[in-house]
A and B are shown apart, each in its own frame.
Chain A
Amino acid sequence: MEKVVFETAIEIKNVHGLHMRPAMQFVDVANQFICDISVSDGVKVVDGKSIMQMVILAATRGTKLKIKAEGPDAQEAINALQELVESKPFIDPDSDG
């Protein structure tokens, strides 16, 4: 089977960074796809489907992340995650978010 790999670079824009709630939204979206998803801050590479690892990444505001998807629905996964992070920023019920 042909190996499908897609990548994109994003920047974290919300005030508190990729803390619990945004991380939760991120992994919820990531888990809708069957492809493998990894996220890198240039130092660490973590599993984009694991909330534990995403929180450990501790991406604060302004952090640039690289998202990499490998698998049949990689393209759709990348699009959905990019949209979550950039086009429609994380829904942050805290008004300061």
Chain B
Amino acid sequence: MEIKKGIAVSPGISIAKSLIIDSEDYRIPRREIKPSQRLRETQRIRNAFRDAVEELTQLEAQQNQTKGSKIKDIFAVHLRFLHDRSLRKRITDLIHSELVTAEYAVSKVLREIAAHFSSVKDTYISERADDIYDIERRLLRQLLGKRREEIENLSEEVAVIARELSPTQTAGFNKQFVKGIATDAGGRTSHTAIVARSLGIPAVVALEDLTEIVHGGDTVIIDGNRGIVIVNPDNETTQQYEKYSQEFLELEHKLDAIREKPAVTRDGTKITVLGNIEFPEEAELVLQKGGEGIGLYRTEFLYLSSPTEPTEQQHYEAYAETIKVLQNQPVVIRTFDLGADKQTQSKRFAPEPNPFLGLRSIRFCLQNLMLFKIQLHAILRASLLGHVKIMFPLITNHQELMQAKMILRDVMEDLDDESIPYNRNIEIGIMIETPSAALTASTLARDSNFFSIGTNDLIQYTLAVDRGNELVSTLYSATDPAVLRLIRTVIQDAHKAQIDVAVCGEMASEPDYVMLLLGMGIRAISITPPMIPEIKQIIRSVTIEDCNNVARKVLSMNSERQISNFLRNAARKILPEAF
């Protein structure tokens, strides 16, 4: 039994046999097979050679007609390799002696040969290594192409395991048989995550080396609620998860009924429950789950999913699509929050030594005015299509807010010059996600229409903890007294200034923390869409008086441990089946 932790991107629990999808674009990991599978794998090798020969023969014949003698020669040489019995024998011998998959054997043997060629001093021969890589890819395409066909014609339930899934790979997924998805790479915004969420398949990503641990046919538990994957679970674990799975399905069913009902506490206080989204396609999900608008529309995907910078029209179309789905319900568009993540660092000429304290988010926008203005132009142009608000991320001081607003005014003037209509009174808010912003909230409130507390970054910056770093991640906690005091300050200052304040970080989608947030004065939250029904259920089960008592007690406590235990017990009393 092996337990791997990743990022949960689509909720639910699946227990199924694994089906691994390798890709010819990445190194094929060593994967073992059972002795009984040897014949099948050698048969796959035979078929792959046969089909590759057929493919090459056709290509060579086409070259005959066009008289490209050089290319024809290359194909002829490749064909000789595919006909070479000793090459095929070396591959099938490896399958028999080391009990490995056909893909791995092909890759290993051909790469050894290529390495041997490369090491020969004669450049004419060493350059032929490229031919060997070409043959390797051709054989792998044959092997993996058949795998993809298999997935489209599944007849039993599987958990799909891959390094990363591309749109062509997921296009043929059948929800009836693909019960779970787990990938080495990816994040909340990856293609896999979006597909899994839209199909309602439990998924966990960012598992790093999962594909090297799992063997085809292994039983795999994918826990899309907690972000855990368990390979070859023991009986006890399997039984435990079967129970979780059953409970989860029952709860889902029960929560279905809640979707239409308002998020009102038992003593009649209305709470606004909004959804966080990345892609226009997710807007529909927010409504389906019973959300009343979008409290955080992350826009980075426009930049990260394309090799070139998005045009103003691309921005506009994405925003328009989302806004139209929501009709007149609010859509809070957060401007680019780029900078600290891997993609932008790798695009950078010289990566920053400490990117989370570097040129990220609003700072990045204020130094890249073209990019920033294009986005603001598109948001303003879309502002008349519905109820649009603008939100600036990672504000650390008042001057930054004023600069951002000045640039917004510039863009408004541009639109006036172009005679393009827009909402002149568009609401402008900021995210409170640094201690400096929290401590100066009263000043920032004078020039903001609303606050949204981004707890993920606020916790990281307050406690000086990178939660991705497992050496210190246990120090990362939403219930640290320091974090809670900052949050309380922000809420109080917002109330004094009579502006709206919401929480849009992950803290708001944790059932344990709902009572505390309401008790501290929060009346709007924005959370990941799948969590909306459950959080609504909790809201409908509490009274503001209960919540105030919880908050009062918690704010008098001095230990993170004590607070989290207290909150867990309080929440369990309200909605025992959710835990």
Contact = CB atoms under 8 A, between A and B. Distances in A.
Interface string B109-120: 000010011001
A20 to B, nearest CB: 5
Given A20-B73, A52-B84, A58-B120, 16 more contacts: A17-B122, A20-B77, A20-B128, A20-B131, A21-B77, A24-B77, A28-B80, A50-B87, A51-B80, A51-B84, A52-B81, A52-B90, A52-B113, A53-B86, A56-B113, A56-B116
B43 interface: no
12 contacts: A16-B124, A17-B124, A19-B125, A19-B128, A20-B77, A20-B128, A50-B84, A50-B86, A55-B125, A58-B122, A93-B69, A93-B73
B347 interface: no
* Top-8 shortest CB links A-B: A50-B86, A51-B80, A58-B120, A52-B87, A16-B124, A20-B77, A50-B84, A52-B84
A21 B73 CA distance: 7
A7 interface: no
Contacts of A51: 77, 80-81, 84
Contacts of B77: 20-21, 24, 51
Contacts of A84: none
B76 interface: yes
A47 B86 CA distance: 8
B424 interface: no
A62 to B, nearest CB: 12
A75 interface: no
Nearest to A16: B124
A21 B122 CA distance: 15
Contacts of B131: 20
Interface of A: 16-17, 19-21, 24, 27-28, 47, 49-53, 55-56, 58, 60, 93
A55 B87 contact: no
A24 B87 contact: no
B76 A24 contact: yes
Contacts of A27: 80, 84
Q: Is the interface of B mostly helix, strand, loop or mixed?
A: helix
A53 B131 CA distance: 15
Contacts of B81: 51-52
Interface residues of B, number: 20
Interface of B: 69, 73, 76-77, 80-81, 84-87, 90, 113, 116-117, 120, 122, 124-125, 128, 131
B78 to A, nearest CB: 10
Contacts of B117: 55-56
A60 B77 CA distance: 18
Nearest to A21: B73
A60 B117 CA distance: 13
A60 B90 CA distance: 25
Contacts of B120: 58
A51 B117 CA distance: 13
Contacts of A49: 85-86
A77 B77 CA distance: 22
Task: Give the one of B80, B87, B90 with max A CB within 10 A.
Answer: B80
A24 B124 CA distance: 15
A47 B87 CA distance: 11
Contacts of A28: 80
Task: Give the one of A16, A47, A55 with max B CB within 10 A.
Answer: A55
A63 B344 CA distance: 53
A23 to B, nearest CB: 8
Given A52-B113, A93-B69, A58 B125 contact: yes
Contacts of B76: 24
A17 B80 CA distance: 18
A77 to B, nearest CB: 17
A20 B75 CA distance: 11
A12 to B, nearest CB: 11
B125 A52 contact: no
Contacts of A55: 117, 125, 128
A24 B80 CA distance: 7
Contacts of B73: 20-21, 93
B357 to A, nearest CB: 54
A52 B128 contact: no
Task: Give the one of B77, B84, B117, B124 with max A CB within 10 A.
Answer: B84
